[in-house]
Amino acid sequence: MPGALRVGVVGVGQRGLNHVKALTELQQDEVVQLAALCDPWSDNLAEDKIKKGAPLYSPLGVKLFSSVDDLIASRAVDAVWFVMPPNQHKGEIIRAAKAGLAVMAEKPQTLFFDEAKEMADAIDAAGVPSTVGFQMRYDPWYIKLREYLADKWTASMTMLVESDVASHGRKHTHTEEKGGPANRVWTANRAWSGTTMVEAGIHQTDLMRYWTDDDVKWVQAAYVERPENLWAAEGDNPVAYTVTYGFRKGGVGNIIFTRPARVYYSGRFDYVLSLHALVKFEDDLVAYAYEGREYPPAQRPDVGSLRKVLARGPHADAMGDHNTKALGKAFAESVTMKKPGMSRATFRSGLNSLAAVLAANVSHERGGERIDLDRFTGSEEYARYRRRPAGMA
Ligand SMILES: NC(=O)c1ccc[n+]([C@@H]2O[C@H](COP(=O)([O-])OP(=O)(O)OC[C@H]3O[C@@H](n4cnc5c(N)ncnc54)[C@H](O)[C@@H]3O)[C@@H](O)[C@H]2O)c1
């Protein structure tokens, strides 16, 4: 039995604490050893603060770093969980890969596609294991749904995500020292989050790909911009997003995302239609399909007779801690056991989800233009949208 994977976490903020919680739990089962934490701000490395998010945390045996490069050079870890804001990357993932370390990168991997591609190239050139923080890929219902759809052709999917500005929360990065928002709510800020579609909608985008084992081929988007006089109080991200994806196998997906202020309501609706079955998220996960040999049947079947339970409820929040832990466990074990298939995404496979949401922004900016992702990721026409803007640190 190989030893526990020595993990370092870079960025001990809101999400980093979720990972520290999961890792300290996995440490009890000797799947991992939490060997290092790295954060440029010492308050984020304080034991008391970390324990509030990860009660099992003990600083014993955990090396603390303020610089990622010192962590990489220390040889204290076999793998790094990168959990820093997406616009703050400066080649750390590339340097970690070159040093032979496995990489778990939180989504969005960066806000600039060219940089993400360089990271993927470095990871593949070094031959190190990698994954992206798409924890919903480990959700028991979604695994069942993917299995159900495996022999079907998905015609359409719709996801409605109703959320509000208030749900963003104050983050742990000292953004005010980095030219970012004074209130540290960087997810409401376009330059830091890349829009809500990029920062949060990447989860729904990736989920559509996961359910259908497919990739996004093209994207069209229309956003509703927030009036400028509200930016100071509510952030400068749009109020509402409508995004349509075309998938390689021919189906379409729609994501409607809302982020108003003063609406303290959150909700979610998902629907999946294969050629001959409708999947509904009820108290159980259910598919409605007539599977009789004769079509059409002599009599219209009773809907209840078509109802097939794919997974029993209640459905725990797919974004929740249990799936973050499952992701950490699967990735750590895939590394120690040298079985890449145990992990449900690689850094490179995550590029399509990232490209899709970045191209959604571009489609909106260009008046709803349909953007082919092969062209977005490779052609000169879109090169300026793939690069970090000149002058942005
Ligand atoms: N998978 C999910 O469900 C999920 C949920 C929330 C956030 N995220 C992602 O996790 C990442 C972090 O988000 P967050 O909510 O934790 O933000 P945060 O600001 O609360 O935490 C980020 C941490 O990174 C540190 N940091 C900033 N710059 C750094 C640098 N150059 N080097 C090392 N550390 C640095 C900050 O000090 C902070 O502690 C983002 O990419 C975000 O989109 C994922």
Q: Tell me if 332 sits within 8 A of 5, measured CB to CB.
A: yes
The band of 1, judged by pLDDT with boundaries at 50, 70 and 90, is very low
**301, pLDDT greater than 80:** yes
- Ligand 1 centre to CA of 11 (Å) is 6
Question: Are residues 103 and 182 both part of a single domain?
Answer: no
Across 141-160, b (16+ Cβ under 10 Å) vs e yields bbbebbebbeebebbebbbe
pLDDT in tens, 189-241: 999 999 999 999 999 999 999 999 999 999 999 999 999 999 999 999 999 99
Question: Of all protein residues, whose CA lies closest to atom 25 belonging to ligand 1?
Answer: 11
Q: Which atom of ligand 1 is nearest to the CA of 200?
A: 43
pLDDT in tens, 245-261: 999 999 999 999 999 99
Question: Of all protein residues, whose CA lies closest to atom 4 belonging to ligand 1?
Answer: 15
**391, pLDDT greater than 80:** no
- Beta-carbon contacts of 135 under 8 Å, excluding residues fewer than 6 positions away, are 318, 319, 323, 324, 326, 327
Question: Of all protein residues, whose CA lies closest to atom 6 belonging to ligand 1?
Answer: 15
Q: Pocket around ligand 1: residues whose beta carbon is below 6 Å from it?
A: 10-16, 38-41, 44, 68, 83-86, 88, 106-107, 133, 135, 171-173, 199, 319
Q: Please give the residue range of the domain that contains residue 253.
A: 153-275+352-386
Question: Are residues 101 and 166 both part of a single domain?
Answer: no
Question: Are residues 262 and 376 both part of a single domain?
Answer: yes
Q: Is 293 a member of any domain?
A: no
Question: Are residues 106 and 51 both part of a single domain?
Answer: yes
Question: Are residues 68 and 201 both part of a single domain?
Answer: no
Paired with 81 in beta bridges are: 9, 104
Q: Is 139 a member of any domain?
A: no
- Ligand 1 centre to CA of 156 (Å) is 33
Q: Is 310 a member of any domain?
A: no
Helix axes 201-212, 140-149, angle to 10 degrees: 40
Torsions phi, psi for 327 (to 5 deg) = -65, -50
Reduced to 3 states (helix: H, G, I; strand: E, B; else coil), residue 42 is: helix
CB atoms within 10 A of CB 123: 23
Q: Is 191 a member of any domain?
A: yes
Question: Are residues 218 and 182 both part of a single domain?
Answer: yes
